[in-house]
């Protein structure tokens, strides 16, 4: 009997030991959970984010124009952050990531952002590859190893408030060609490529920075349109796919893609065969903040199949509270969910191993530190700026020119009128560096026209009288602004009023934006740059002077 009791006790002790050994240890959980977060900080004071890097072992940083400024200083900043990561609990380089898409950009105005994706969609895909190769060179030079691009969204909704010129266009096949070219361009210089926003943000009329959009297309349409560029992205070797905070009724009526196991596992993993890292769109967007407890949503996203949770430093003029405190809370809650067994350790290991594998495959540790002097030589150099300009020139399109007024004669007297009523510069500053970061389209157009020695006079739309010069150039603008839209109806109203009050004067609408409104007002001529960056502006002026011809093709259909 005593022997039986001894055996029973030994078995019981053994089971307790096994149970204890199987329970994840807090240190291991912290180290691995930290790698599953791509977090952010405001400005360039690294002290606020160092504890997250050293003590929490976060996997990466979302970097905006608020963080990344002058190239040499940017390289020094990122070297310091990487040093902290290598010395911290993770002993692993940070996945440094930024939105360098063209229409959205970082290191502005130093970098070569090019004309934007929609403008690239107006010409041969080789231009997309060239432009994304430039992105790769410039990002790598300062130590940004991941581009959160290309945008694989098919912009099939003309009223889309947030994608617009960030998309390559409305035709799924054409978008796919350019997604492939963009990934190839990034890979030429060893940059991690991200296809976004899965399963597509192009057919929405709501900005997910403000709420949860809903797509009610049929499954057949979703698979033939929205998913096609992502299928191409996977086949082309995209390293990361970013999720969208969007509900797709035909696939999952309840959950946005970010929180949907059906969308992330059944479609992205199984149907498309994606084996890389799945990252979420920012959890600071209102689609998450207004509808979920962000920490609880992070648990749901990880359980749904997301490998990395992203929180960008987005504000849109709103008080988001103590940002670092909210990030720490999210880490705490996810860690506890693992310890409690709500998130299986196997799910954490799966995501953790994918992230480490990606960092090792791109040899991030071997690329550190970067050379600040070399960075300064590469960012925005003559060769890169020339590629950006040539890509913008290839996109130039004239929808109509009823009086054959283009190119302008050198003796033309030109009145230039701004149609936008908003102060775009203020809106961009409010967004804390997230977004276009280029608000000077109108003013730069005036500067470039004067540089070509045209007799130019500038007028405000509200001026009581605009003198009848030979030519009136009305400049319309739009930017894919997070959480904010310009009043395009007011721009069209102002253009109509200019026509009414200046009968007999040639009126040219220069659109530093998408071409959706080409047919809505019908001035004497309509020129579209399909973008609002400095390269778009210079290309328009080169067309007006006759240095180039318009050879682009609209990648979207104007509204009738």
How do residues 189-199 score in pLDDT, each as one tens digit?
Answer: 999 999 999 99
DSSP assignment of 517-539: TTTTS--SEEEE-SS-SHHHHHH
User: Which one is catalytic: 66, 99, 226, 281?
Assistant: 281
Give the integer Cα–Cα distance in Å for 535 and 533: 5
Using one digit for the tens of pLDDT, what is the confidence trace for 136-169?
A: 999 999 999 999 999 999 998 888 778 899 999 9
Least confident of 200-204, 254-258, 401-405, 555-559: 200-204
Give the strand pairing for 60-63 and 95-98. parallel
pLDDT band (50, 70, 90) for residue 3: low
Radius of gyration of the chain (CA): 26
| pLDDT over 60 at 426, yes or no | yes
Using one digit for the tens of pLDDT, what is the confidence trace for 56-83?
A: 999 999 999 999 999 999 999 999 999 9
Single pTM value for the model: 0.93
DSSP assignment of 475-522: EEE----TT----HHHHHHHHHHHHHHSTTSEEEEEEES-STTTTTS-
146's enclosing H/E stretch is strand 146-147
**Which DSSP letter does residue 395 get?**
T
483: left (phi over 0), alpha (psi -120 to 50) or beta: left
Active-site residue flag, 281? yes
Torsion of the alpha carbons at 163, 164, 168 and 169, rounded to the nearest 10? 120
pLDDT at 487: 94
Active-site residue flag, 201? no
pLDDT at 423: 87
pLDDT at 318: 58
Give the integer Cα–Cα distance in Å for 453 and 411: 9
117, two tokens: 């994706």
314, two tokens: 């987005």
Give the integer Cα–Cα distance in Å for 151 and 165: 10
Using one digit for the tens of pLDDT, what is the confidence trace for 261-284?
A: 999 999 999 999 999 999 999 998
pLDDT at 317: 52
Total Cβ atoms within 10 A of residue 139: 28
Using one digit for the tens of pLDDT, what is the confidence trace for 512-522?
A: 999 999 999 99
More confident residue, 285 or 526: 526
pLDDT at 18: 41
* CA-to-CA separations, 22 to 33, 36, 299, 341, in angstroms, rounded: 17, 21, 21, 11
pLDDT at 199: 95
pLDDT band (50, 70, 90) for residue 16: very low
37's enclosing H/E stretch is strand 37-39
pLDDT at 9: 44
| pLDDT over 70 at 8, yes or no | no
| pLDDT over 50 at 126, yes or no | yes
| pLDDT over 80 at 502, yes or no | yes
Q: How far is CA 36 from the centre of its chain?
A: 20
What does the H/E/C string look like for 4-73? HHHHHHHHHHHHHHHHHHHCCCHHHHHHHHHHCEEECCCCCCHHHCHHHHHCCCCCEEEECCCCCCCHHH
pLDDT at 20: 44
Give the integer Cα–Cα distance in Å for 455 and 444: 16
pLDDT at 24: 75
pLDDT at 64: 95
Give the integer Cα–Cα distance in Å for 256 and 259: 6
User: Which one is catalytic: 187, 197, 209, 245?
Assistant: 209
DSSP assignment of 222-258: IIIIISHHHHHHHHTT-SEEEE-S-EETTT-SSS-GG
Kindly report the average pLDDT of the chain as a whole number. 92
Least confident of 135-144, 207-216, 439-448: 207-216
pLDDT at 144: 98
Provide CB contacts within 8 A for 451, sequence distance 6+: 541
> Closest by alpha carbon to 529, among 415, 421, 444, 412?
444
Please compute the mean of the pLDDT values over residues 470-493 and round it to a whole number. 92
SS3 24: coil
pLDDT at 440: 86
| pLDDT over 50 at 17, yes or no | no
Total Cβ atoms within 10 A of residue 499: 18
* Percentage above 90 pLDDT, the chain: 78
Torsion of the alpha carbons at 456, 462, 463 and 466, rounded to the nearest 10? 50
Domains in the chain (CATH in brackets) are 2-378 (3.20.20.300), 396-545 (3.40.50.1700)
Residues forming a β-bridge with 243: 198
Using one digit for the tens of pLDDT, what is the confidence trace for 429-438?
A: 877 788 999 8
Please compute the mean of the pLDDT values over residues 22-45 and round it to a whole number. 90
How many residues can be counted in the chain?
560
Please compute the mean of the pLDDT values over residues 534-551 and round it to a whole number. 98
Cis peptide before 285 (omega within 30 of 0): no
Decide if 115 contacts 539 (C-beta within 8 A): yes
More confident residue, 42 or 167: 167
Provide CB contacts within 8 A for 156, sequence distance 6+: 170, 202, 203, 225
Using one digit for the tens of pLDDT, what is the confidence trace for 305-327?
A: 999 999 876 555 555 567 788 89
pLDDT at 324: 81
pLDDT at 207: 67
pLDDT at 11: 43
pLDDT at 319: 59
pLDDT band (50, 70, 90) for residue 414: very high
């Amino acid at each position: 009997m005593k022997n039986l009791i001894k055996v029973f006790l030994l078995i019981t002790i053994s089971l307790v030991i096994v149970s204890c050994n199987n329970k994840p240890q807090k240190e291991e959980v912290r180290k691995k959970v930290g790698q599953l977060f791509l977090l952010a900080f405001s400005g360039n004071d690294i002290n606020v984010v160092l504890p997250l890097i050293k003590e929490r072992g976060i996997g990466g940083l979302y970097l905006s124009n608020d963080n990344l400024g002058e190239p040499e200083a940017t390289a020094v900043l990122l070297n310091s952050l990487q040093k902290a990561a290598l010395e911290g609990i993770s002993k692993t380089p940070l996945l440094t990531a930024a939105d360098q898409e063209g229409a959205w950009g970082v290191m502005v105005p130093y970098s070569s952002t090019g004309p934007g994706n929609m403008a690239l969609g107006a010409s041969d895909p080789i231009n997309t590859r060239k432009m994304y190769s430039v992105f790769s060179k410039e990002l790598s030079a300062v130590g940004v190893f991941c581009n959160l691009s290309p945008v694989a969204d098919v912009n099939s909704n003309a009223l889309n408030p947030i994608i617009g010129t960030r998309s390559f266009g409305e035709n799924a096949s054409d978008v796919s060609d350019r997604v492939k070219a963009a990934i190839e361009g990034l890979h030429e210089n060893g940059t991690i490529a991200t296809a976004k926003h899965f399963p597509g943000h192009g057919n929405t009329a709501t900005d997910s920075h403000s709420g949860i959009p809903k797509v009610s297309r049929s499954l057949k349409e979703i698979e033939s349109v929205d998913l096609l560029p992502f299928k191409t992205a996977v086949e082309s070797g995209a390293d990361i796919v970013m999720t969208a905070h969007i509900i797709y009724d035909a696939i999952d009526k309840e959950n946005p893609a970010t929180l949907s196991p059906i969308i992330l596992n059944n479609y992205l993993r199984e149907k498309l065969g994606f084996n890389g890292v799945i990252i979420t769109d920012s959890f600071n967007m209102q689609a998450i903040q207004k509808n979920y407890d962000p920490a609880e949503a992070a648990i749901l996203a990880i359980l749904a199949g997301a490998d990395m949770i992203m929180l960008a430093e987005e504000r849109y003029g709103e008080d988001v509270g103590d940002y670092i405190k909210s990030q720490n809370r999210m880490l705490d809650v996810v860690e506890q969910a693992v310890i409690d067994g709500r998130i299986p350790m196997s799910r954490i290991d799966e995501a953790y191993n994918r992230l480490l594998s990606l960092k090792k495959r791109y040899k991030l540790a071997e690329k550190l530190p970067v050379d600040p002097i070399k960075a300064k030589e590469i960012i925005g150099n003559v060769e890169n700026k020339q590629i950006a300009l040539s890509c913008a020139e290839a996109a130039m399109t004239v929808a109509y020119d009823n009086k054959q007024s283009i190119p302008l004669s050198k003796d033309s007297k030109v009145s230039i009128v701004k149609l936008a009523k908003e102060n775009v510069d203020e809106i961009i500053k409010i967004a804390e560096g997230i977004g276009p970061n280029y608000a000077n389209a109108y003013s730069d157009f005036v500067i470039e026209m004067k540089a070509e020695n045209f007799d130019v006079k500038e007028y405000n739309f509200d001026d009581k009288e605009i003198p009848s010069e030979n030519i009136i150039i009305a400049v319309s603008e739009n930017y894919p602004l997070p959480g904010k839209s310009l009043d395009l109806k007011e721009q069209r109203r102002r253009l109509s009023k200019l026509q009414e009050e200046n009968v007999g004067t040639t009126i040219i609408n220069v659109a530093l934006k998408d071409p959706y409104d080409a047919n809505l007002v019908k001035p004497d001529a309509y020129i579209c740059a399909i973008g609002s960056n400095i390269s778009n502006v210079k290309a328009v002026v080169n067309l007006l002077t006759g240095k180039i011809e318009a050879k682009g093709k609209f990648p979207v259909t104007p509204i009738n």
